[in-house]
Each structure stands twice: as structure tokens, then as C-alpha cells.
Amino acid sequence: MHHTPIPDQMAERIAALIDKAESTSYPEEAEAFMAKAQELMARHAIDEAMLDAARGSTDEIAQVEMTITPPYASAKSVLLNAVAKSNRCRVVVANLRGGRVLTTMVGFETDIRHTRSLYLSLSHQAVRFMLAAPLPPGDTPRRFRHSFLLAYAWRIGERLKEAEAQAMSEAEAEQLARPTGRSVSLVMASREAKVDRAFTEAFPRLGTKRISSSSGGGHASGRAAADRSSLNRPSVGGGGRSLPSG
């Protein structure tokens, strides 16, 4: 299976943006830096897909499992699903003993890699923002934190879609200026349709699960935290703080 590495110049730009975002104490600056880093990563994924289409490549779709540990594993799985959808991947979840959640991601390998690394980064940021958020009077820590993480995940999904749409728009504008090959939108839609077919074939009898939020304060705080989060994609495997119980 062929994968085009990120060009050195683009990788350096992404790394520089991430460094700036992580070093600033101003959330608005961090968001601006990381939104640009996310856009560059999305653009690389589009460029790679266009190259594969031009070569007539037949990339295989992969399945990757990842276990999410408690506490709040169900809420954290919603964040993973939001990140996966923005990267044209699909996720199925299964509850395990001890409050763990087994997730299976289906998608092209590059997109799964992006999903996993971005999810790990954002989940670590969620911990930082959640622990800093004041608990509203009359609320309980567990209810507040569960609602916080759900709202955070929903808002992150919106932001990722916005960044992906921006990258698509720029790629399509460039192609209109230099018409060559298949259209960007058709290539990306074709890849997503392949993932959908593979997902349906692998999991033909899936049900749906609704996860609700019961803390208004946690919802508002989590959504605000998502707006302050850096949309970075660090290397996979880095450590991070775990969510406390409560």
C-alpha cells in the first residue's frame, strides 16, 4: 500500500505552527495557529488522494481497533467518532467489562493515522480544560464532566468540518485554475463512498446508541473549551494525563 510522506517543507510549517500554538498563553492565538496546521494536514490528505487517483492506485481500506478506558469512556468515544468523520473514517463501538469501550475504525490507513493522532491530542486538551473548569453550584463532578466531554466532542466535530471544507475549497479553486484529471470533489467523494461500503460490509447489522447530556453547565463549558482547543496532529504514542474519576 503506497503512502506519500508529508513533504519536508510542509512538515516543517506544520511543526512550527504547532510549536507556536503550544507556547502561546492566548487561546485565540493557539486556535488560529492550530486551525492552519489542521488545514495543511487536510490539504495533504487531499493531495495524496489526487495523486493516487492519477496513478490508478488501489489503496486498501484498513480496520484498526482502539480501546478507550474509563472514566467517561462513552463520552470519549463520541470525540473519536467526531474526529473520524472529519477524516472520512467510520467508527463502531462496543462496551466491554469495567467501563471500557472497544472502538473499530474503518478507513484508508493515512486517514486512520490522522484520526488517531488528532484524537489523542484533543483528548489530552479536553483533560486540561475540564480540570480547569469550575464546577457550577448544585452540579456533581461526574455529571458535569460527562456533559463537558460530550459538548466538547460535538463542537470539535463542527470545527474539524470547517477546516476540512476550507482545504477542499482551496484545492478545488486551484484545480479550476489548472484543470487536470478528475475533480477534487469526485475523488474525495469516491474515497468516502468506498469507506462506507467497506464499513457496511464489515458491520451489516449495527444499531444506534444515543448518549445524552444532563448538565447545562458542563455542556456550555465543554463547548467553550472546544473553541479554545488546538487542532494539532502530534506524533502518535505520546503520553498524556488521564481523566480523573468522579
Q: What is the pLDDT of residues 57-108, one digit of tens each?
A: 766 899 999 999 998 899 999 999 998 998 899 999 999 999 999 999 999 9
Give, in degrees to the nearest 5, the angle at Cα 129 between 123 and 134. Answer: 140
Per-residue confidence (pLDDT) for residue 210, from 0 to 100: 54
Kindly state the cell numbers that stand for 89: 473514517
Is there a contact between 205 and 94 (Cβ–Cβ < 8 Å)? no
Q: What is the pLDDT of residues 126-176, one digit of tens each?
A: 777 788 888 888 888 888 998 889 888 888 888 888 888 888 998 999 888
Per-residue confidence (pLDDT) for residue 178, from 0 to 100: 78
Q: What is the DSSP string of 8-39?
A: HHHHHHHHHHHHHHHH-S-HHHHHHHHHHHHH
Give the model's confidence band at 208: pLDDT under 50 very low, under 70 low, under 90 confident, else very high. low
Q: What is the DSSP string of 197-213?
A: HHHHHH-TT--------
Which one-letter DSSP state was computed for residue 56? T
Does the pTM surpass 0.85? The reply is no
Cα separation, 39 vs 123, in Å, equals 19
